[in-house]
Structure 1
Amino acid sequence: DKLIKDSYVLETEKQKTKGGKRPTLLKINENKGFVIGIDLGRKKIRAALNNFSGKMTKKYWGFEVVDKKDIGERLNSEISKILSRNKKSGLKSIEPELKAICIGVPAVIDVDSGKIISAPLYGSWRDLNLKEIISNKFNIPVFIDNNVNLTALTEKNYGEGKNFSDVVFVEISNGIGAGIIIDNHLLRGSYGSAGEIGFTIINSENLGFKIKNKGFLEKFASVKSIQKKAIEAINKGRKTLIMDIVENDISKIEPSIVCKAAINGDRLANDIIEGIVRFLSIIIINLVLILNPQIIILGGDICSLPEVDKLFVKPIISLVEESVPFKIPYIKLSSLGEDAGVIGASFMAMEALLIDEFPYKIEQEVLT
């Protein structure tokens, strides 16, 4: 009754029955308001506008994410642009109906205060309180969480993990991290840093390894490292199809170009991919042995690479099967792709907003 009174839920038609009181069907009021979900785990920020039925009404690419302390002010500016774009496009202004904002950040977060405890890829963000900065600007509830944790929750509820209680999501982008769900509960750890697998030590020679703010895996097995390894090898004189594809313009080399060369049999490209597959396989084997999940989902920027299943997923599965002497979990590519982070942020905003007003969870349907 409270949900109906406050217009979060609408009554529709009554069902036909053979006898007794006719039940009334209910539905979420999609016009109750909007939330904005933002993912900072990409090269450029990704934002989405969702109504209360769960429908993603708009998607945006924003500014390039860099290691500068003005990230809060830049986010405020970007959110203002999102609101003004809708107004200029002739749509009704959504600002009065904007109910909450949730931001996924590649960092260790104090989720209660919204303060960034540690940001391995963006050191200048440390100790920033994004929740405070943004809520002061827009005067609405703001929720801040680790971007990989948000994506893991999305995959668990709406993606490949929806039929499982023990799920590990592995983000493979410029950074590498894991969102861990055990017995349907997100595992954050004592200090919020559970899943920071980018700092995994591969062997004893890597003890004490740290370059700036990156861990071993993030330096040698991230999507960005594909490009870096190719450029380094070419500068050392390696002949490769990669240069033919980019017409000898080394500045045009991207991870996708290296993958295309690998598909066409280029030795250098295949060496790079195989090396990254081996590093990723080691961490996935360790996750299998320590956590014994039902499914491991691979996602992030890796999803957008050509022939990702052939080049990465199938070889990883083969190496895990060869190395683990008992039943291994399903290992699958994210079905939500690049949208998983903003979907997770949007639904966290809606759920947190509703839980704050009502003491129970409302399920939503993902519509993109």
Structure 2
Amino acid sequence: MEKKSLKFSRTVSSKLQYKINMSIIFNYLRENGPISRAKISRDLKISAPAVSRVIDKLIKDGYVVETEKLVTKGGKRPTLLKINQDKGFVIGIDLGKEKFKLALTNFNGETVEKYRGFRILNDKNIAEKMISEIKKFLSKCSKGEKIKLHKVRTICIGVPADIDTDSGKIISAPLYGNWKELNFKKILSSEFNIPVYIENDVNLSTLGEKHYGEGKNFKDVIFVEISNGIGAGIIIDNHLHRGFHGSAGEVGFTIVNTENLGFKIKNKGFLEKFASVESMKKKVVMAIKEGRKTKIADMVENDVEKIESYMVCKAAIGGDKLANSIICEMVNFLSIGIINLILIINPQIIVLGGDICSLPEVRRLFVEPIMEKIKSSIPFKIPEIKLSSLSEDAGIIGASFLATESLLIGEFPYKIEQE
């Protein structure tokens, strides 16, 4: 998603100046609408006639529509303008959860329809399954007259992997080794004949939370996904930080002490093995097999195959010693990872998301103890710690945002960064 500089070595032509003005006005309207022509002119210091020429063209092309009149104390009431939300639609896909998730959103970021499909496995046929589900979904939407298929303009896919965002190639997929040779961008763009973008799933959840969730009023944000794996997305000065190879935020591989240097098991890092939501279930199963007493065994009538992570939380709330010890260890390890992120990035807010959000009493069992450990370990002001307000939809919301942003920045490449 390239944003072009507004520095020029010589005076620009009137044609280029018009294009620059159109881009700046359109993007400003996207972020601040509904808004009047006069306010756009004042805020951007572009002449009123120049603003009117651009707005008339954007209305003619269907990108902008007029809405209600602004209420004033007297005089002529200006007409407010906003983006035409139905000019186009985008598809956001999240492959980072247990099941395939998809959202159809309009240009305003509003979700028109959501869909939950097949269980995601380490399967080389994942692309074919995706194509089948997307076609089925779009057929259903078009029959219901929610959208016209030609108005679907682009797709963005969130993948639990390190991504070359330009080529679409998967560099490394620790949880899904069979996906490494796949290029979802190439496969889906060929099938649907529209632009396809691909990004790390946690980065997309981070963008979703930054623009529509708990992070929207902050410039420096860290989103920590705690599910079967653990990863972080980093926003610095309103920009997603991917790192040199796109691996920034892979905190699941955090090392806690010198004894664990070089730790890696089946492509999982230390923190993921001992502090992921999935690890809770595995620890209980192992303890029961070793003869430890716990209420969780009674919940499943001693059938360890039926144990789920939420049961550990329920047992802990009821005073179960094993369950509380497992959660305590998990809190300790997560606190170490989060403290290290705070010390290195110094964000304004940290948002915790992923499967952990759906666990019972998550604030009491996890968020509050983590906050206490952070306070006792860091001698200066700490960031706010919040649970994701988007929960399991953060990924598809972020994917839809990036799809829209990438598409429109391609058409309107100039914008003024706002504080």
TM-score grouping bracket, smaller chain normalisation: over 0.9
Which amino acid counterpart does residue 60 of structure 1 have in structure 2? Answer: Y
Report the Cα offset of residue 79 of structure 1: 0.8
1:84 is matched with 139
2:212 is matched with 158
Are the equivalent residues in 1 in contact too, given 2:231–2:250 (CA < 8 A)? yes
Listed as ranges, the matches of 1:126-275 within 5 Å are 126-275=180-329
Give the distance between the partners of 2:92 and 2:211, measured in 1 at CA.
Answer: 17
Are the equivalent residues in 1 in contact too, given 2:142–2:149 (CA < 8 A)? no
Which amino acid counterpart does residue 52 of structure 1 have in structure 2? Answer: F
Deviations 1:177-218 (A, max 9, x none): 010111222111111100011111111111111112111111
Are the equivalent residues in 1 in contact too, given 2:219–2:238 (CA < 8 A)? yes
Report the Cα offset of residue 349 of structure 1: 0.9
Give the distance between the partners of 1:87 and 1:357, measured in 2 at CA.
Answer: 26
1:286 is matched with 340
Report the Cα offset of residue 87 of structure 1: 4.2
Listed as ranges, the matches of 1:92-107 within 5 Å are 94-107=148-161
What secondary structure is seen at the aligned counterpart in 2 of 1:332?
A: strand
1:333 is matched with 387
Give the distance between the partners of 2:148 and 2:372, measured in 1 at CA.
Answer: 49
What 5-or-longer segments of structure 2 have no aligned partner? 1-54
2:92 is matched with 37
* Percent identical residues: 69
2:129 is aligned with 1:74: yes
Give the total of aligned pairs. Answer: 362
Which amino acid counterpart does residue 159 of structure 1 have in structure 2? Answer: G
Report the Cα offset of residue 29 of structure 1: 1.8
Are the equivalent residues in 2 in contact too, given 1:150–1:348 (CA < 8 A)? yes
Which amino acid counterpart does residue 203 of structure 2 have in structure 1? Answer: N
1:118 is matched with 172
Which amino acid counterpart does residue 182 of structure 1 have in structure 2? Answer: I
Report the Cα offset of residue 231 of structure 1: 0.9
Are the equivalent residues in 2 in contact too, given 1:351–1:362 (CA < 8 A)? no
Give the distance between the partners of 1:308 and 1:242, measured in 2 at CA.
Answer: 18
2:109 is matched with 54
Report the Cα offset of residue 283 of structure 1: 0.4
2:65 is aligned with 1:10: yes
1:307 to 348, 355, 361: 361
Report the Cα offset of residue 327 of structure 1: 1.6
What secondary structure is seen at the aligned counterpart in 1 of 2:283?
A: helix
TM-score of the pair, normalised by structure 2: 0.82
Whose radius of gyration is greater, 1 or 2?
Answer: 2
What secondary structure is seen at the aligned counterpart in 2 of 1:42?
A: coil
2:331 is matched with 277
**Structure 1 residues 71, 323: closer, same or farther in 2, change over 3 A?**
same
Are the equivalent residues in 2 in contact too, given 1:34–1:94 (CA < 8 A)? no
What 5-or-longer segments of structure 1 have no aligned partner? 364-368
TM-score of the pair, normalised by structure 1: 0.93
Higher mean displacement: 170-179 or 90-99: 90-99
Are the equivalent residues in 1 in contact too, given 2:228–2:276 (CA < 8 A)? yes
What secondary structure is seen at the aligned counterpart in 2 of 1:193?
A: coil
Give the distance between the partners of 1:259 and 1:333, measured in 2 at CA.
Answer: 17
Give the distance between the partners of 1:300 and 1:231, measured in 2 at CA.
Answer: 22
Cα RMSD of the aligned pairs, angstroms, is 1.9
Higher mean displacement: 191-200 or 26-35: 26-35
Are the equivalent residues in 1 in contact too, given 2:58–2:64 (CA < 8 A)? yes
2:38 is matched with none
Are the equivalent residues in 2 in contact too, given 1:10–1:26 (CA < 8 A)? yes
**Structure 1 residues 156, 3: closer, same or farther in 2, change over 3 A?**
same
Report the Cα offset of residue 30 of structure 1: 2.6
Give the distance between the partners of 1:115 and 1:247, measured in 2 at CA.
Answer: 46
Give the distance between the partners of 1:30 and 1:163, measured in 2 at CA.
Answer: 23
Are the equivalent residues in 1 in contact too, given 2:207–2:401 (CA < 8 A)? no
1:351 is matched with 405
Which amino acid counterpart does residue 339 of structure 2 have in structure 1? Answer: I
Are the equivalent residues in 1 in contact too, given 2:89–2:107 (CA < 8 A)? yes
